Amino acid sequence: MKTLLRTLLYLALIVWLGAEIFFPVVAAITFTTLRPDTHTAGAIVGQLIRILHGMGLVSGMVALALLALAPAWNIYKPRAVLAPMALLVLMIAFTAFSQFAIIPAMERDRVSAGGAIDTADTASPITADFNKLHNRSEHVEETILLLGIATVALVAKAETAKS
């Protein structure tokens, strides 16, 4: 049973971090392939980020629940799971912030611009706000990835602390 629960914990972390790692690759390929049609590329990437966030929120909640229950099941020592749990809460909060604050604001800018953002038009306040939100979104995703890597390291440390 302990092996199954640890496997589920690792799987939840792998799914989330794997998606975070490969998302920029998929986005870059999408924009490279659809270079002349940035609106379609943006729509595809927008849908993909929503899926990524959904995966992250579910995976994060599963991992958080498993870590919370792990000491009761004698998988990890109670103190060893506190730091990874705190990082998971931060990752979930950043993901929710991006999904429910940044992405809708970017969508409002896109609609305000007539349905398509011309990122080359830097004089437009709508484009400037969209670009600011896009940069913020990138930083949030980078932060989630770094917190995820730290979480994996702390779970590995908890693994060694239990013996």
The residues near 62 (Cβ < 8 Å, ≥ 6 apart) are 8, 9, 12
| CA pair distance 64, 161, nearest whole angstrom | 19
pLDDT digits (tens, 9 = 90+) for 140-162: 999 999 999 999 999 999 988 75
Token reading at 32: 């490279």
What digits encode the pLDDT tens for the residues 28-84?
998 888 877 878 888 899 999 999 999 999 999 999 999 999 999 999 999 999 999
Task: Give the model confidence (pLDDT) of 92-118 as tens digits.
Answer: 999 999 999 999 999 999 888 887 776
Q: How many CB atoms lie within 10 A of CB 92?
A: 20
- Identify the CA nearest to 70 among candidates 2, 7, 160, 12: 2
